[in-house]
Amino acid sequence: MESADEAIHELVRAGHDVTDARFRYRTALTKSEQLASAQHSLDLERLQDLERVVGSISRDIVGEAEVSAEERWEHKLFLIPVWFLALATVVLAGSKLRRLKSEALDPVSGEVM
- How much is the average pLDDT of 71-76? 83
| Per-domain residue ranges of the chain | 2-77
Short-list 18, 27, 29, 32, CA closest to 64 = 18
CB 31, CB 54: distance < 8 Å: yes
Question: In the prediction, which pLDDT does 83 show?
Answer: 92
Provide the pLDDT confidence category of residue 77 given band limits of 50, 70 and 90.
confident
Q: Is the dihedral of CA 48, 53, 54, 59 positive or negative?
A: positive
Q: How far is CA 1 from the centre of its chain?
A: 21
Q: What is the mean pLDDT of the chain?
A: 83
pLDDT greater than 80 at residue 7: yes
pLDDT greater than 90 at residue 21: no
Question: In the prediction, which pLDDT does 108 show?
Answer: 57
Most confident of 22-31, 37-46, 89-98: 89-98
- How much is the average pLDDT of 5-19? 83
SS3 state of residue 112:
strand
Q: Does the reported pTM lie above 0.85?
A: no
Question: In the prediction, which pLDDT does 33 show?
Answer: 81
Question: In the prediction, which pLDDT does 101 show?
Answer: 86
